[in-house]
């Protein structure tokens, strides 16, 4: 569906009006952002409550000094799971200021509810595009983190990076390092095929610059127009609109699933490849295969690390169980294989 200039204006007015209402309701006392304290934003629905809790716990446990402000864009997390997240963080001697944001209460949900989803991705994946309008204008810089990851390094070291005049900082994607690998529309957008393509699961966002240039509604317009040609959901829209206008992070800040057998198969130098593979700052489970989903294959080392963190949270001892549909399918395949041998 194409988007006209009039609808672009409509989106911008909707953002402006709804965000104003939302801030008045949720941020009665606006204070200037403490630039020395990390401000983190993430988004989850109830399906991702456990990985959210594990991610936040790993973040807080590795924080060496000070405190952290955390905003969770809540796509329907139950009160019981919220209490588990809070109790998990209370186990640590770190000051965590946790805020729950409900975009549905201010009408924001209608902006993204019709954007395409499939596979393991739900509408919550698009909530990151609303961040500049969900937070008060006094907040000009945030770290966005997906929930399907664990941290192994002090987040203060990421926060200290100067965002300068960039829209965002991110890690070049390991599986799709170039727009020609990940973006189907790069040619018609006249983007050079060797332009780097970033993963949107870990980003430092310059909210001041996003608001000034209306980046969020430009990305949403792109997603609406190119829904049938998307490969990686919001990530495609961000790369299309911000091609060549973002800064690169040390790739250790986003170790992604990969099938590399050696550094020559990657876009890394040999030294960087070993750093990313052997000593990552952050492990991102950015594929359909998640540690919290049942499977028969042995746990990889990264998945074991996920459960080591989980067992220090309020979900200690929890493990995924095989669902009845999957069990039925397994029995059927087993029977089919048996009869084929007869």
Domains and CATH numbers, the chain: 5-310 (3.90.550.10)
Q: What is the pLDDT of residue 19?
A: 44
Distance CA 332, CA 330 (A): 5
**What's the pLDDT at 202?**
98
- Determine the pLDDT at residue 331: 58
CB 275 within 8 A of CB 247: no
| 174 C-beta neighbours (distance < 10 Å), count | 21
**Which residues does 328 contact at the CB level (< 8 Å), separation at least 6?**
none
Task: Lay out the sheet containing 247-248: strands in order across.
Answer: 95-101, 67-74, 39-44, 141-145, 198-206, 168-172, 247-248
How far apart, in whole angstroms, are the C-alpha atoms of residue 188 and residue 132? Answer: 28
Each residue's pLDDT tens digit in the chain (342 positions)?
A: 333 444 444 445 444 444 444 443 333 334 456 688 999 999 999 999 999 999 999 999 999 987 999 999 999 999 999 999 999 999 999 999 999 998 776 566 677 777 777 776 677 888 899 999 999 999 999 999 999 999 999 999 999 999 989 999 999 999 999 999 989 999 999 999 999 999 999 999 999 999 999 999 899 999 988 878 888 889 999 999 999 999 999 999 999 988 788 898 888 999 999 999 999 999 999 988 899 988 766 778 999 999 999 999 999 999 998 765 655 665 566 666 656 555
Q: How many Å apart are CA 89 and CA 96, to the nearest integer?
A: 7
| pLDDT at residue number 16 | 47
Query: Which pLDDT value is given to residue 294?
Result: 80
What distance in Å separates the CA atoms of residue 310 and residue 255, rounded to the nearest whole number? Answer: 19
Q: Would you state the torsion angle of the CA atoms of residues 268, 269, 272, 277, taken in this order, to the nearest 10 degrees?
A: 60
pLDDT, position 158: 98
pLDDT at 4: 42
From CA 157, how far away is CA 296, in angstroms rounded? Answer: 37
pLDDT confidence of residue 308: 98
pTM of the model: 0.86
Secondary structure of the chain in HEC code, one letter for each residue: CCCCHHHHHHHHHHHHHHHHHHHHHHCCCCCCCCCCCCEEEEEECHHHHHHHHHHHHHHHHCCCCCEEEEEEEECCCCHHHHHHHHHHHHCCCCEEEEEEECHHHHCCHHHHCCCCCCCCCCHHHHHHHHHHHHCCCCCCEEEEECCCEEECCCCHHHHCCCCCCCCEEEEECCCCCEHHHHCCCCCCCCCCCCCECEEEEEEEEEHHHHHHHCHHHHHHHHHHHCHHHCCCCHHHHHHHHCCCCCEECCHHHCECCCCCCCHHHCCCCHHHHHHHHHCCCEEECCCCCCCCCCCCCCCCHHHHHHHHHHCCCCCCCCCCCCCHHHHHHHHHHHHHHHHHCC
pLDDT at 125: 82
Tokens of 37: 């304290």
Q: Which of 319, 316, 315, 314 is nearest to 303 (CA)?
A: 319
Enter the tokens of residue 90: 């209370």
pLDDT value of residue 15: 47
Phi/psi region, residue 67 (left: phi>0; alpha: psi -120 to 50; beta: rest), is beta
How many other CB atoms are there within 10 angstroms of residue 187's CB atom? 12
């Amino acid at each position: 569906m194409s988007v006209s200039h009039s609808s672009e204006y409509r989106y911008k007015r909707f953002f402006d009006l709804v965000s104003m209402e939302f801030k008045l309701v949720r941020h009665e006392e606006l204070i200037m952002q403490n630039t020395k304290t990390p401000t983190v934003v993430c988004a989850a629905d109830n399906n991702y409550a456990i990985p959210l809790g594990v991610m936040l716990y790993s973040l807080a446990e590795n924080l060496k000094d000070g405190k952290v402000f955390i905003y969770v864009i809540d796509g329907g997390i139950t009160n019981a799971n919220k209490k588990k997240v809070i109790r998990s963080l209370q186990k640590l001697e770190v000051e965590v200021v946790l805020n729950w944001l409900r975009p549905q209460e201010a009408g924001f949900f209608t902006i993204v509810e019709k954007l395409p989803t499939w596979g393991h991705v739900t509408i919550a994946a698009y909530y990151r595009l609303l961040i500049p309008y969900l937070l008060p204008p006094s907040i000009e810089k945030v770290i966005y983190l997906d929930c399907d990851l664990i941290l192994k390094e002090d987040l203060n070291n990421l926060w200290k990076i100067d965002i300068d005049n960039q829209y965002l900082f991110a890690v070049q994607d390991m599986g799709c390092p170039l727009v020609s690998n990940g973006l189907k529309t790069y040619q018609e957008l006249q983007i050079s095929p060797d332009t780097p393509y970033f993963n949107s699961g870990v980003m430092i966002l310059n909210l001041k610059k996003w608001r000034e240039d209306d980046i969020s509604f430009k990305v949403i317009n792109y997603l609406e127009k190119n829904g049938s040609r998307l490969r990686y959901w919001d990530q495609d829209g961000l790369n299309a609109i911000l091609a060549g206008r973002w800064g690169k992070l040390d790739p250790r800040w986003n170790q992604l699933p990969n099938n590399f057998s050696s550094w020559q198969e990657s876009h890394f130098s040999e030294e960087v490849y070993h750093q990313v593979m052997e000593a990552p700052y952050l492990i991102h489970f950015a594929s359909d295969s998640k540690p919290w989903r049942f499977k028969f294959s042995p746990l990889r080392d990264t998945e074991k690390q996920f459960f080591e963190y989980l067992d220090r949270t309020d979900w200690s001892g929890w493990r995924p169980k095989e669902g009845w549909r999957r069990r039925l399918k397994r029995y059927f395949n087993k029977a089919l294989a048996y009869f084929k041998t007869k």
